[in-house]
Structure 1
């Protein structure tokens, strides 16, 4: 019966967003209240479940600092010309014959700290200019660019959805980042340069060489001689990851992956620096200097970049919070516990089975709702109790389930996903061509990611 109520609530969400065009955040909050009533919750408990420390507050909380500061770092790098420098340096290194790989790497590095839509807006003009110079179709380079951005969005903290899902499942962010890097790199290669070869054969009409694109407008260029150095730009972009990776490796090697009862001074310092909110704060301070003060940008210019970042992240942040409202109801109502009991009734579930089921449920939500963020966070709410009961003290299983949910959230993007229309407009494609390229690419990212996660589970668990 609980599953039927969830299905009805998803139907309400679709009706509000698709039929009545209600704002996504508002629709999510309304749906969360509806779901709580359908599940028979005490009306007095519903507001806290939706908005309190189990709902919106749980997901946003300290995560809001991670999301906003991450967006600020990305914007500071872009506005100083650092992203432009990264792209052009890699293109110069790789040469015209390996342009796809240069674009893939540049997009991946930049995409770590930039939400998908902002990354597209930033990179499309650069990649378009390169495509014109190389006399190749934009889509020839654009698939690799988009695959890298989408892969980072699906698997890597500090991107909003992976961070929120990992937090909800109690997964270690640092370990999530390390394993997520492996998954995202493999999926980006498969759905980027490799998929491009296939797409050119079955959808050749999409690969038209165009000298202008309506959605791109004037291509903004930077003076490469005055832009930040390549290595400083890369360091600033990945600075938050360095702390988390070092701390995770340190704990795995020296403390067995757990916090010691009597930590040394070094243990305490590393634990503090590895906290995602702390790492992002330190990284933002570094970015203000490396991409602002050291580049002779005024604080007014730096503040303008950070304000633009807040404006860009705000919409995503609200959707993440709305997804958290659904998660809060699923956990507080006992729905998540019901799912856990359902699985435990048939004995302990194998890790691979749990991973496959988490991917499947997320995939259904993704196809139904459209938003990868909503699908991922909702699925995390469904599987919170299952993961807690099956993982015990094992730090790897929650991470693998989080990555499987990330993979499921990317599958079969179609007309109810904003990314579908962003891709269509930027690359000036027909709806048929967008299905042929974007939808297939996203699905390939999803299945490849799932395959890598399953292999990890077999090897590591």
Structure 2
């Protein structure tokens, strides 16, 4: 009966978001309260399960710093002209014949520290200007740009969804970053330049050369002589990753990834600097000076960038919290334990089966509710029960988190804001958006799953 209640609640969430167009955060909180009541929880415990340490408070916590500071770093780099510098430099290096690869790499670097929607807004004008200069359709370059941004969003900390999923599963964020880079690079290539060739064949009408697109508007350009250098722009964008990667590699080499009983001073310092919240704080301080006074920008301009960066992630931060509220009810009500007992009684599951299940759960939720973030966070509450019923190591936790990320990207359609953003920016019809965007997201999801399954089979 509890599983029927869970199904009814997810159906309610779908109706609130798609039918009544209710704000996603509000819909999640309402659904969490309804699910708690349907499961017969003690009314006095419901508020804490939804909003307290087990629910919204649990998933936000220090993660809020990661999300907010990440958005601020991305905006600082963009407003100083750093994103423009990265794109133009790589395009100049690669040349006209390999423009897709230049756009792919530029978008990937920028996408590491910038949420998908903001990345689209900032990169589209740059890519559009390049497309006009090269005499090619915007979509010819835009698919690679979108594939890179979406892959980073789905698999790489410090992006909100991967970070939140890793946190809730107890996965090592540094290790997830390393494995996620492998997965996201492969998916970006397959869904970018490779998929573009296929898309040109089955949707040729979408690839029309246009010199003006209403949604793009006037293309903003920066004076390259006054913008930060390419090296500084890239360094500022990926600064948080440096700490996490170094620390993870160091731990793997020194202690096999496990904390030693008596860690020395070097280990403790590296472990401290690699904490995602610490890494993001240090990175933001670096970005403020590197992209502020270091570029002769006033602190007032820096403050404007910080505020806009905060605004850009505020909505996503609330959605992440709302997903945590739903997860809190699943845990507090004991439903996660019921799922664990269900799978314990059915025998142990292989790592490959667990990864497939995690992907399938996230995929179904993605198709139902639209939001990749909601799908990922909600899937954790279900998958946690399976992990509790089966022995697992650090790598499997990371692979499950990545599988959830892959599933949360599949088959974007009309209930996903990304669908409409893509449609407007590339000036497509609804049919063309299904042909290009929906298939592109599915290619990323399935390719990611295949890569994750291969890694699982070989190393777990």
Shorter-chain TM-score category? over 0.9
How do 1:51-200 and structure 2 match up within 5 A?
A: 51-200=51-200
Q: Distance in 2 between matches of 1:451 and 1:331?
A: 30
The superposition leaves residues 105-151 of structure 1 with CA deviations (integer Å, 9 ceiling, x where unpaired) of 00000000000000000000000000000000000000000000000
How do 1:364-403 and structure 2 match up within 5 A?
A: 364-392=364-392, 394-403=393-402
Q: Does the CA-based 8 Å contact 1:36-1:329 persist in structure 2?
A: yes
Using the TM superposition, name which of 157-166 and 341-350 deviates more. 341-350
Q: CA deviation at 1:391?
A: 3.9
Q: CA deviation at 1:11?
A: 1.3
Query: Who is 2:359 aligned against?
Result: 359
Query: Who is 1:257 aligned against?
Result: 257
Q: Does the CA-based 8 Å contact 2:343-2:389 persist in structure 1?
A: no
Q: Secondary structure at the match of 2:44?
A: coil
Runs of 4 or more above 6 Å deviation: none
How do 1:18-37 and structure 2 match up within 5 A?
A: 18-37=18-37
Q: Does the CA-based 8 Å contact 1:6-1:35 persist in structure 2?
A: yes
The superposition leaves residues 384-406 of structure 1 with CA deviations (integer Å, 9 ceiling, x where unpaired) of 132244244x1111100000000
**Structure 2 segments unaligned to the other structure (5+ residues):** none
TM-score, normalised to structure 2, is 0.99
Q: Does the CA-based 8 Å contact 2:371-2:416 persist in structure 1?
A: yes
Query: Who is 1:202 aligned against?
Result: 202
The superposition leaves residues 171-213 of structure 1 with CA deviations (integer Å, 9 ceiling, x where unpaired) of 0000010000000000000000000000000100000000000
Q: Distance in 1 between matches of 2:324 and 2:16?
A: 18
Q: Distance in 2 between matches of 1:354 and 1:285?
A: 40
Q: Distance in 1 between matches of 2:453 and 2:228?
A: 41
The superposition leaves residues 84-104 of structure 1 with CA deviations (integer Å, 9 ceiling, x where unpaired) of 000000000000000000000
Q: Does the CA-based 8 Å contact 1:331-1:384 persist in structure 2?
A: no
TM-score, normalised to structure 1, is 0.99
Q: Distance in 1 between matches of 2:75 and 2:338?
A: 43
Query: Who is 1:14 aligned against?
Result: 14
- C-alpha RMSD over aligned residues: 0.8
Query: Who is 2:450 aligned against?
Result: 451
Say whether 1:414 aligns with 2:413: yes
Q: Distance in 1 between matches of 2:409 and 2:136?
A: 28
Query: Who is 2:441 aligned against?
Result: 442
Q: Secondary structure at the match of 2:67?
A: helix
Q: Distance in 1 between matches of 2:63 and 2:416?
A: 24
How do 1:209-288 and structure 2 match up within 5 A?
A: 209-288=209-288
Q: Does the CA-based 8 Å contact 2:348-2:389 persist in structure 1?
A: no
Alignment size in residue pairs: 460
Q: CA deviation at 1:14?
A: 1.5
Q: Distance in 2 between matches of 1:389 and 1:78?
A: 45
Q: Secondary structure at the match of 2:165?
A: helix
Q: Distance in 2 between matches of 1:419 and 1:375?
A: 14
Q: Does the CA-based 8 Å contact 1:391-1:398 persist in structure 2?
A: no
Using the TM superposition, name which of 187-196 and 259-268 deviates more. 259-268
Query: Who is 1:332 aligned against?
Result: 332
Q: Does the CA-based 8 Å contact 1:161-1:320 persist in structure 2?
A: yes
Q: Secondary structure at the match of 1:45?
A: helix
Q: Distance in 1 between matches of 2:105 and 2:38?
A: 47
Q: CA deviation at 1:422?
A: 0.4
**Structure 1 segments unaligned to the other structure (5+ residues):** none
Q: CA deviation at 1:43?
A: 1.0
Q: Distance in 2 between matches of 1:115 and 1:455?
A: 28
